[in-house]
Amino acid sequence: MDVTPEQLRDTGFAVQFDAVAETVSVADRDRGPNLAVVSDPYAGRDLLVDHAVTRLDDPTRVALEGVASGEELPELASRDAGDAVVVENCHYLFSREVGGFGCLEGFLEAIALSAPTVVTSWNAAAWSYLDAVRDVSQSFDSVVHLPPIDAVDLARLVEAHHDGPLPEFVQTSADGRVKTVSFDRATVSPLGGREVTVPMPNLNTEYLLSRDATETVGDVEAVVFQKLVQVAGGNPGVATACWDESVRDGQVAPGFVAEYDPQFSLDDDAAFVLELVVSNDRIRRQTLDQIRPTVQVDKALQTLAESGLVAVDGEWARVAPTHWRAAKEHLEGRQLLW
């Protein structure tokens, strides 16, 4: 996603940018605040951290690149309240194994009541897991989540992201209409007092009311961005990646926006490897081997790569941006992500 923090701010994230700025500006004489920036992969948390850095006075900045041993972390005890420390990718502070939580627990202990301002960034899936098993949110004064983007804001984001004038919006004969009905989940008690979650139809009234049969270009444009938001799950980075894949020879059409079905067949080991990849943004194959020595990691990665879910680049495996939503929905369906 080739956009600046300011451009991302102007596409519906002003509240989050302001929350970051406000949090890092309230350091008092004794103690600076602890801030956690949480988002899905590709959603732009690095831009939010960049924004925090511009508000801090010469912070020490560390970006973790793999499962941390603790030596990479800056020392906190000797710093004053005016100091600031930025630690990115804190989901690398733990690994999903027996003995894999020590570094995280040490870090959370160190930032509790520490003097300097501490700005951290986290993968949203890892954050949800750690909040369930370690109450990680209790250690932060402020937690800023990046919410899903809507179609109108995505159109502005794509204008900022796209190199040169936007392509021509065309309607093709291929399928590609936006859904006029989507389904939300609601909890009801139909029988015996037991609560069940059922799909509730949700009409896309905005699209239905705005649709004008005599208008072609404007209608198609709205459909393209609506569909991009839908296939990207509102993730800005994923949406722009899908946009890049949808532009063909200077044209873009709803039918060019590829949809990926989350209902694919994965065995337990492949699903767990996918979960580790999704909840780490990217992860080393060696780390996967270390976390689960009994799992045939390369075989699982091959399965995931063949289905397009994971891109393997040398020693690194990362979730393919265009398949992120399908991967997330599949893992949520299996209750591997919460």
Binding residues (CB under 8 A) for another protein: these are 96-101, 129, 132-133, 191-192, 194, 196-199, 263, 268-269, 271-272, 275, 292, 294, 333-336, 338
Residue type at 209? L
> How many CB atoms neighbour CB 58 within 10 A?
9
Is 88 in a helix, a strand, or coil?
strand
For another protein, give the closer residue by CB, 78 or 189.
189
3-state secondary structure 131-183: HHHHCHHHHCCEEEECCCCCHHHHHHHHHHHCCCCCCEECCCCCCCCCCCEEE
For another protein, give the closer residue by CB, 199 or 218.
199
For another protein, give the closer residue by CB, 86 or 337.
337
Instruction: Please report how close the Cβ of residue 37 comes to another protein at its closest, in angstroms.
Output: 23
Instruction: Please report how close the Cβ of residue 168 comes to another protein at its closest, in angstroms.
Output: 38
For another protein, give the closer residue by CB, 242 or 274.
274
The DSSP-derived string for 181-241 is: EEEEEEEE--STT--EEEEEEEE-HHHHHH--TT--HHHHHHHHHHHHHHHHTT-HHHHHH
Instruction: Please report how close the Cβ of residue 92 comes to another protein at its closest, in angstroms.
Output: 15
How far is the C-alpha of 89 from the C-alpha of 128, rounded, in Å?
14
Pairing of strands 117-123, 34-39: parallel
How far is the C-alpha of 241 from the C-alpha of 123, rounded, in Å?
19
Instruction: Please report how close the Cβ of residue 226 comes to another protein at its closest, in angstroms.
Output: 25
For another protein, give the closer residue by CB, 247 or 295.
295
Contact 91, 131 (CB under 8 A): no
Work out the burial of residue 171: count CB atoms within 10 Å of its CB; fewer than 13 is exposed, 13-18 middle, 19 or more buried. Answer: middle
Instruction: Please report how close the Cβ of residue 88 comes to another protein at its closest, in angstroms.
Output: 24
Instruction: Please report how close the Cβ of residue 123 comes to another protein at its closest, in angstroms.
Output: 16
For another protein, give the closer residue by CB, 15 or 183.
183
